Amino acid sequence: MEKIMDNLGFINVGLKQTTYKNKIIGFILTLLGVIKAIFTIRKDDYLVLQYPLKKYYSFLCRITRIKGGKVITLIHDLGSFRRKRLTPDQERSRLAYTDYIIALNDAMKDWLIRDGYKQPIGVLGFWDYLSDATPITKQAPLKPYEVIYVGGLTRKRNSFMYAFDKSEHPEGYIFTVYGGGFEYDTIRNKDIIGYKGFVNSDEIIRSSTGDYGLVWYGHSIDKIDGVFGEYQPIQTPHKPSLYIRCHLPVIIWSKSALAPFVLENRIGICIDSLSQLDDVLSNISNEEYLEMKKNTIKMSEKIARGHFFTQAYLEAEKRLSASQS
C-alpha cells in the first residue's frame, strides 16, 4: 500500500517502514516518525493511516484535525473481531477519530454500519499485489487440474490438507503445496499431494504451473474453522491476490466475504466444502475454465498497478471534498 501511495505522489509524513527485532530501537524510530508527522501535516491535507496503528492512531488523528486536515483510514484488521484484544466499544471509540473509513469489502462495510460506525465508509474490494514477476503462459489445462495451495501447514494452524491423505483418490485434481511446516514425510498419497517447501512469492508467480489457487484455513475440509473461520465472513485475505497474480482462478469458501466478488468477476469458483472439490472440478469444461482464466488475467493486470487502492482513495477524497463544500 505504501508503494502504491508513493507511485500516486503521496508524501510519507513519517519514516520509511522498517522492521527491527530490538523493541527499544523500534519504539524510538516509531516515535521519531510520529514527531516528524506532526511537523509535516498541513491544512487541507488528507492523511492516510493503515489500521491497526497501535499506539499513536488517535493522537495522529487529533493532530491532523487540529491542523485542519482530514484522516482516511484503511482497515487491514479489526482487533475486536479477530484477536479480541479490544472490545467493540473500544475500537469504535478509537476509529471515531477518523473522517473516512476504507473497509476491505462490502461485508465489512455492512458490519461496521450495523455496529454503529457513523463515518462515511468506502470499500477497497480486493487487495492489490505489486510484483514485477511474469507468470507462465499455459495452454488449456489437461485434467486432473493442478490446485496450488500457498501458506503455513502446521497441524496446529492448518491441518485440513492432511485429511486428503485419508480420502479416496480424486479424479478432478491434484495438489501442489508451498509453504513451511508441512509434515510431508507422513503423507502416504504423494501422487495426489506434491510439496515444494517454502518458495518466495515472486518465484511462485514466475514458476507456478498450476490451474487453480485454493483459499482455505483451519482443520476441517467441510468449512473454514478456528480464528480465521470466524473472520472470513468480513475479511479479505491476501492469498487470493497472489493467486490472481499467478493467473490462477481461485477456489474459495462460499461463506467468505470475497465469494460475491469472485462470482461477480468470474475469476474462480465458490464451494461449501472441500469434499465437493472433486465433483465440481471434474464437471468444469475447458471453455468454462478458459473464460475464468481470461478474467483472471485481466484482474491480475489491475492489481499489478494498484487499481483497487487508487480507486478507493479517489472515492474517499471525492466524498470528503463534497462534504466540505
pLDDT band (50, 70, 90) for residue 325: low
| Cβ-based burial of 132 (10 A; exposed 0-12, middle 13-18, buried ≥19) | exposed
| pLDDT higher than threshold 90 for residue 164 | no
Choose the most confident range, by mean pLDDT, from 6-15, 63-72, 226-235.
63-72
Q: What is the CATH number of the domain that holds 22?
A: 3.40.50.2000
Over residues 227-233, the mean pLDDT reads 79
Same domain, residue pair 103 and 66: yes
Same domain, residue pair 108 and 207: no
Q: Is residue 138 part of a domain?
A: no
In this predicted model, which residue has the larger pLDDT, 34 or 56?
Answer: 56
Same domain, residue pair 86 and 169: no
| pLDDT higher than threshold 70 for residue 229 | yes
**Residue 298 φ/ψ region, left for φ over 0, alpha for ψ in the -120 to 50 degree band, beta for the rest:** alpha
Is the Cα torsion angle 265, 214, 302, 139 positive or negative in sign?
A: negative
Specify the 3-state DSSP secondary structure of 261.
helix
Q: Is residue 135 part of a domain?
A: no
Over residues 242-246, the mean pLDDT reads 97
Over residues 84-89, the mean pLDDT reads 81
Same domain, residue pair 291 and 192: yes
Same domain, residue pair 232 and 273: yes
Q: Please give the angle made by the CA atoms of 202, 208 and 214, to the nearest 5 degrees.
A: 95
Antiparallel, parallel or unpaired: β 212-214 and 145-150: parallel
Beta partners for 271? 253
Same domain, residue pair 299 and 152: yes
pLDDT of residue 312: 98
Q: Is residue 136 part of a domain?
A: no
Dump pLDDT digits (tens) for 169-211: 788 899 999 999 999 999 988 889 999 999 999 999 999 999 9
Domain span at residue 202 reads: 145-304
In this predicted model, which residue has the larger pLDDT, 19 or 5?
Answer: 5
Its pTM stands at 0.92
The mean pLDDT value of the chain amounts to 90
CB atoms within 10 A of CB 271: 19
| pLDDT higher than threshold 90 for residue 309 | yes
Q: What share of the chain in percent tops pLDDT 70? A: 98
Whether 47 and 60 have beta carbons less than 8 Å apart is answered as: yes
Dump pLDDT digits (tens) for 95-122: 999 999 999 999 999 999 998 899 999 9
Q: What share of the chain in percent tops pLDDT 90? A: 65
Same domain, residue pair 294 and 153: yes
Contacts 24+ apart (CB under 8 A), 116-120: 116/92, 117/92, 119/95, 120/316, 120/319, 120/320, 120/323
Same domain, residue pair 155 and 246: yes
pLDDT of residue 54: 73
Over residues 157-172, the mean pLDDT reads 82
Q: CB under 8 Å to 21, separation ≥6 — which residues?
A: none
Taking alpha carbons only, the member of 229, 225, 221 closest to residue 162 is: 221
Domain count, the chain: 2
Same domain, residue pair 206 and 311: no
Choose the most confident range, by mean pLDDT, from 46-60, 230-244, 294-308.
294-308
